Amino acid sequence: MNIQVLGTGCPKCKSLEKATREVVAQNNIDATITKVDDIMEIMKFNIMTTPALVIDGKVVVKGRVPSMDELKQLLTNKIYFL
């Protein structure tokens, strides 16, 4: 699984990256996590608000930090929703 955390470095962006890494570690999820902070790269995903979470190329969360439970559901069940 390829996970990208999109954000320029604001507190919410850092929080989403930290929470994502925690859920991946706690659940032994085989994933590569990449932090994308280049605004030109972020714009390629057609999002206007950060943070955003991209799983296998699909934007699944944007403009907010999901709960740990929601992150776990997204990452373990591959249920993608906005």
- 13 given a catalytic annotation: yes
Nearest alpha-carbon partner for 46 in 56, 34, 58, 37: 58
What is d(CA 82, CA 75) in angstroms, rounded to the nearest whole number? Answer: 14
Catalytic residue among 3, 5, 6, 13: 13
What is d(CA 71, CA 40) in angstroms, rounded to the nearest whole number? Answer: 26
Catalytic residue among 1, 8, 9, 10: 10
In the numeric block, the tokens 């709960």 are attached to: 67
Note the residue count of the chain.
82
Please list the active-site residues: 10, 13
